[in-house]
Amino acid sequence: MASSRMNKHLKKSELKFLKEKLIAEIERIQTKLAVQLIPLEVNATTGDDVDSANDELMRRTELRFSAREGMYLKKLKKSLDHVEEDDYGMCEDCGGDISFTRLKARPTSTMCITCKEESERDEFKSFNGRKSKSLGTTISL
């Protein structure tokens, strides 16, 4: 939910700090992803079946982590867009302010702590019988 009001709760110095943090994280991840892709493309296995299986397991793990980093990169870029649009640090749920302390700890936060805690409580209540996103199996408590 994009708000039409301007970001007034963050000081200019705080906003500058958070913007620099977002940019630094974007650059870190882009560099990491570029370096990770080189070995994945030149993966020539020479060895027995155990070595091949181990190499395949490592490659899949690296791909999974790369995918997670890619999703985080999208969140960082979206947050940076919000900084440019002057609505960074506003809760997408209630429209309230997200504290500087929370944004400093998690610069991609889109919800204030109150809304996030409520969301997590609701998620936990409806957790039983849901599919795990990472395991792909039905969970029961």
Q: What per-residue confidence (pLDDT) applies to 136?
A: 52
| Domain residue limits at 57 | 12-125
CA dihedral 27, 30, 33, 38 (to 10 degrees): -100
Q: What per-residue confidence (pLDDT) applies to 135?
A: 52
Q: What per-residue confidence (pLDDT) applies to 3?
A: 42
The answer to the question of residue 6 being in a domain is no
Q: What per-residue confidence (pLDDT) applies to 42?
A: 47
Distances (CA, A) of 43 to 55, 60, 65, 92: 9, 12, 17, 43
Give the C-alpha separation, 64 to 45, whole Å: 20
CATH number at residue 39: 1.20.120.910
Our count of domains for the chain comes to 1
Give the C-alpha separation, 2 to 81, whole Å: 12
Helix axes 49-84, 12-41, angle to 10 degrees: 150
The answer to the question of residue 119 being in a domain is yes
How distant is the alpha carbon of residue 136 from its chain centre? 20
pLDDT tens digit at each of 141 positions of the chain: 444 456 678 899 999 999 999 999 999 999 988 876 655 544 555 678 888 888 888 888 888 888 899 899 999 999 999 999 888 999 999 999 999 999 999 999 999 999 999 988 887 777 654 555 555 555 555
